[in-house]
Structure 1
Amino acid sequence: MKRHRVSYAHLGAQVNPKHVASLVDYFRSGCKPSADFRYGVEIEHLPVRTADDSAAGYYGQDGVEALLMGLRPYYRPGREHWEEGHLLGLGRDLMEVSVEPGGQVESSIGPFRTLGELDDLYQSFRQELDPIAERLGFRLVNYGYQPRSGYADLRVVPKARYAAMTDYLGRLGQYGLCMMRCSASTQVSIDYSDEADAVAKLRVGTALGPVISWFFKNSPYFEGGPNPYPLLRQRIWDFTDFQRTNLIPGLFDPAFGWEDYAVDVLSTPLMYVDLTHTPEAAGMAVGGQTRVAFRDNAAEVYPDRPLNDYEAAHILSTHFNDVRLKKIVELRHWDSLPIARAARLTKAVGDDFYDRGRFDRLVDFCSGLSEADVFAAKADLQARGSQARPYGRPLDEWGSLLGLEDTLADLPGDPAHPDVFQV
């Protein structure tokens, strides 16, 4: 890939070149030969009370924390995450269970090669979890937003990072608190071979993710009533915090590369500082190792030295672009889906991104796009729904091009999908 020299002059002392180099090294360490490409899938679930479909929440003897406590025997003791005396996560090979800010239960599955592996891992997770949840009086469902409860009905999970995010995102944008407390997603992660491949996947995922979202939309509800938006998750994220969500600035510039992405991330306030794995923190009081950072970016927080992997991962985790780069490419557009539809989505991602001929055709199409084109396609989908023509093509044509004709979401109340409630 032809590269240009990244200039930090316009940012003054805001970005440390050693930190930029550290993030580039971090990305480089994720490169894999195509023969080793795998998938990762994250499915967030909404816990709802069996009696009335209201949000179950984290707290209490019949909440999500009690669910995690019941799951502990199935997971490795050394992979538990605790904070302030509360259990917040569990882990074992190929499966991590964590809790999102509103008590959403996330299963992080993989890396795996086949849809059969995905199904086996997920079914084991649910076979262990569902009887415990049933005893506690709730169940997990898959929608993009809570069916009965609104964001004001939920207390945030007792995690310092979530408290900082609540304070920060509650002061700007429109939907930060809705996103944190009531939304749920399906995310698919894919591998890359080198910088050019990673950037191509970022571009294709960013441009076509909203189109694919249409075929997997699964948000019948919003704030206790019918959802008014064609793509609710996209609407929420686009209006949360523009400096860390939406499109990656400059992504569709032909010269864009890893350094550009690193500069953007490092230029943005962190929201929350985590120095727990910073060597210099050895002499700090425990309470001083984490704090809010509403104005400070990485150069103002971390020492003048290369970043370690923990620090790099934390900084990258404070950005929420539609497609995010870590040691994988993380496609983040989609509503929470039942496992059969999540598997269908994963297959579609594999067909589009891992099939070389198909991917090359999509890369060629996206090479002619600009950021403005992507914004226009997203706006068209939100304004016209099924009548939209993103990038000048009707949705049925996109369905044929992407192999998605059979994936449109069912309407609420479909008897074939008893988990769908009537409003």
Structure 2
Amino acid sequence: MTHMKTPRVNYAHLNATVNPKHVDSLLRFFEQGSKPVRQDGFGVEIEHLPVRNGTDLAVNYYEPNGIETLLNRLRPFYDAEKEHWEDGHLVGLERDGIIISLEPGGQVECSIGVLHHAEDLTASYAKFRGEMDPVLDELGFRLVNYGYQPRSGYADIPVNPKLRYAAMDDYLGRVGRFGPCMMRCSASTQVSIDYGDEHDAIAKLRVGTAIGPILAWLFRNTPYFEGGDNPYLLLRQEMWDHIDPQRTGIIPGLYDERFGWRDYAVDVLSTPMMFADLTHTPEAQRDGERPLEFAAFRENAGEIYPDRALNDYEIAHVLSTHFNDVRLKNFIELRHWDSLPIALAERLTQTVGSLFYDDAQFERLTSFLDGVSEEDVAAMKQDLQSRGADSTPFGRPWDFWRDFLGLHGLQRRAAPGDPHHPDVFQH
């Protein structure tokens, strides 16, 4: 198969828009994430949609017997020293190996890791649910795994008390499409993986960006949208591609042969920020007053943060305001997939492990994708979004991809009245 080569792009002109000390801060951060001695770790995040028993309407943070009550009831199972509070509200729990956090619409996220065997995911998750489910039964609601709320629309759900989300809501409500929908009603499964060095990280970013949408189709799990049937073949992709193109989609220049960590750092730092978290920026203190926490700036990081090396909190915030299909932190975060039931989440994690940690399989993938350009990946995504099962990603039929990705056992069967229901998978 012949692919177009990405044109050579000169990024040097962008350097004038960023602070070199900030660039160096990100480069050190990426370097610190390198694992030259192979560990092959996984971090898995599963977001859950809370719905009331009997009605399937969304449960929000503030209502009686809602998400705030749930978190408070779970506190005895988690470390008191690691609780997360904002403005007097409990918004997260943590203990070794697991973090419970909230997405903007009260979606309950369970982050598990670091795992070294994908098969360990189910056992770790079972402990989480063993503590969670009796409390949910008492409160009269449950957590479901879909890509979007089954009965409620975005206008029905208030944003939870995390200051970050109030700022995001203000910004994303003004740009693009789907911002409020994504924030309040969507849920995902994300898998994070290790990298050995810069070369390995860039290779994995490229492969993950190209393969992720194909896996998203095979593991799709969004039957509903805004209280009705979902009209989009890949709703999660449709939403993220149109929320704010300057910080979503394919990383600009990723398939340029010269692309490296510095290019990624420059892109992130030169993008106007949605908002600035200054809670850990000492210079924001004003005569003992509360620090300016989330300022709705539109400048880039160099115009907001001081002329010095960024601290780890500031770095994490800057990186977290970019939402590319595959995101580089001090690990690689693959972000393509709908929320999945645990058996499918484990199958997905196993597939990710076989593709990225099996040297022979990863070599097959990189060889097949050699010469693929950013334009090729964008065209593939559009083909998937418009033709679904009739699409031919990178010119190949679906039987090829199921075989190539080791997913021939993942077939979908018809279910009366609900062809996209999660139970339509067979293993």
Going from structure 1 to structure 2, the CA distance change for 1:134 and 1:286 (only over 3 Å counts) comes to: farther
Distance 2:38 2:125 in 1: 24
- Which of 268, 271, 292 is matched with 1:268 structurally? 271
Deviation at 1:57, TM superposition (A): 1.1
CA displacement at 1:407 relative to structure 2 = 2.2
Report the Cα offset of residue 406 of structure 1: 2.0
Structure 2 counterpart SS, 1:106? strand
Q: Aligned-pair distance for 1:116?
A: 3.7
Aligned equivalent of 1:177, options 177, 180, 191: 180
CA distance in 2, matches of 1:413, 1:102: 30
Other-structure match for 2:88: 85
Change (3 A) 1:348 1:195: same
1:157 and 2:156 equivalent?
no
How many residues are matched? 417
Moved over 3 A (4+): 4-12, 281-288, 408-415, 417-421
Find 1:214's aligned residue among 198, 217, 228.
217
Residue 418 of structure 1, CA deviation: 9.0
CA contact (8 A) 1:322 1:331 kept: yes
Deviations 1:34-57 (A, max 9, x none): 531210000000000001101011
Alpha carbons 1:216, 1:408 under 8 Å: kept:
no
Q: CA deviation at 1:273?
A: 1.2
Equivalence for 1:320: 323
Q: Is the 8 A contact 2:285 2:292 kept in 1?
A: no
Matches within 5 A, 1:1-20: 8-10=12-14, 12=16, 14-20=17-23
Unaligned residue ranges in structure 1 (runs of 5+): none
1:145 matched to 2:148? The reply is: yes
- Using the size of structure 2 for normalisation, the TM-score is 0.93
Distance 1:104 1:207 in 2: 28
Greater shift in the superposed pair: 106-115 or 249-258:
106-115
Q: Which residue of 1 aligns with 2:367?
A: 364
CA distance, structure 2, for counterparts of residue 120 and residue 286 of structure 1: 46
Deviation at 1:337, TM superposition (A): 0.3
1:225 to 199, 211, 228: 228
1:99–1:366 CA distance, 2 compared to 1 (3 A) = same
TM-superposed deviation, 1:29: 0.3
- CA 1:393–1:284: 2 relative to 1, 3 Å: farther
Distance 1:331 1:286, change over 3 A: farther
RMSD between aligned residues: 2.1
Deviations 1:359-417 (A, max 9, x none): 012112222111110010001011111010010001121111001122245555599x9
3-state DSSP class of the match of 1:110?
Answer: strand
Identity of aligned residues (%): 60
Residue in 1 that maps onto 2:258: 255
In the alignment, structure 1 residue 187 sits paired with structure 2 residue 199: no
Q: CA 1:166 to 1:382, structure 2 compared with 1: closer, same or farther past 3 Å?
A: same
String of CA shifts for 1:11-42, please: whole Å, max 9, x gaps: 64x30011011101100000113531210000
8 A Cα contact 2:15 2:266, kept in partner: no
Q: CA deviation at 1:310?
A: 1.3
**Distance verdict in 2 for CA 1:150–1:411, change over 3 Å:** farther
Alpha-carbon distance in structure 2 between the residues aligned to 1:126 and 1:315 = 33
Correspondences of 1:212-361 after superposition (within 5 Å)? 212-283=215-286, 287-361=290-364
**CA distance 1:5–1:282, change in 2 (3 Å):** farther
- Pick closer, same or farther for the CA change 1:306–1:413 going to 2, 3 Å: farther
Aligned to 2:3: none
Deviation at 1:115, TM superposition (A): 2.9
Output the CA distance in 1 between the equivalents of 2:129 and 2:229. Answer: 28
Distance of 1:286 and 1:260 partners within structure 2: 38
Contact between 2:152 and 2:226, CA under 8 Å: does it hold in 1? Answer: yes
TM-score w.r.t. length of structure 1 = 0.94
Unmatched runs of 5 consecutive residues or more in structure 2: 1-7
SS in structure 1 at match of 2:38: helix
Q: Secondary structure at the match of 1:367?
A: coil
Farther-moved stretch of structure 1 (400-409 vs 187-196):
400-409
The aligned residue for residue 404 of structure 2 is: 401
Deviations, residues 204-257 of structure 1 (Å, cap 9, x unaligned): 000110001111000011111111111111111011110000000000001100
CA contact (8 A) 1:414 1:420 kept: no
- Residue 315 of structure 1 aligns to a residue whose secondary structure is helix
Question: Is 1:68 aligned to 2:71, yes or no?
Answer: yes
* Cα deviation, residue 111, structure 1: 0.4
**Residues 359 and 317 of structure 1: is their aligned pair in 2 closer, same or farther, counting only changes over 3 Å?**
same
What's the CA shift for 1:269? 2.0
